[in-house]
Structure 1
């Protein structure tokens, strides 16, 4: 997993607050829908049972839409989360000449075989 870049903490806090509010706003209608479904299921009237099915269907649609919105809000909040860099993350703080995360840069590259004339080129060229 790549480390996150340092960002503005205020922007992160705003995005996190928005994600929390959207989560609460998404759960409240679902709780109302669940209460209506349970009330309709406990009723003896068949008309109320059909109404309970309608509430169940509407709750499912709300869950799909609100789930998508809440997931995007939390992903944005997570992407904006500040990251404190450690000294080991910085290239200048390493004791060796080796570049950070790029193996093989401490040794010179070997000569190109095709351009050096050591290997005969393919006859199709």
Structure 2
């Protein structure tokens, strides 16, 4: 079983302009890749419906379409994830450290030291 990941202390994103810019970039990339997919699909269908030996060349737009779908998936996944990670966090006027870094455990009270309170026995090596 993998060890639990420790939270990284990084300030929470608050830049609205960066979020909007990344979101619009992802939207435009989605439109461009969608257009490429539509054009390649149309070319493949037109090439496949030809009643001659040229219909066997329909595999070329099909392979390009498969490549475009694979590359488009990788690119769009990265762009949309980056946009999602940059969503701004609305903070209070007096944020606590847990709100600043996105780690709610920082706001919890510190636990009592068990060795100094006598709750546990002293280690035997002493």
Does TM, normalized by the shorter one, top 0.5? Answer: yes
| TM-score of the superposed pair, with normalisation by structure 2 | 0.68
Cα distance change on mapping 1:42 and 1:117 into 2, 3 Å = closer
Render the CA deviation track for 1:38-79: whole Å, top value 9, x for unaligned.
Answer: 1122222122x2221110001111111122111111111111
2:101 aligned residue: none
1:56 aligned residue: 62
Query: How many angstroms apart in 1 are the aligned matches of 2:90 and 2:12?
Result: 9
Contact conserved, 2:115 with 2:122, CA < 8 A, in 1? no
CA RMSD of aligned residues (A): 3.0
Deviation of 1:91 (Å): 6.5
5+ residue gaps, structure 2, are 1-6, 99-103
Cα distance change on mapping 1:38 and 1:117 into 2, 3 Å = closer
Contact conserved, 2:47 with 2:57, CA < 8 A, in 1? yes
Deviation of 1:118 (Å): 3.6
Query: How many angstroms apart in 2 are the aligned matches of 1:20 and 1:51?
Result: 33
Render the CA deviation track for 1:71-119: whole Å, top value 9, x for unaligned.
Answer: 11111111111111369x8469xxxxxxx526672x421117xxx9844
Mark the structure with the bigger radius of gyration: 1
| TM-score of the superposed pair, with normalisation by structure 1 | 0.69
5+ residue gaps, structure 1, are 93-99
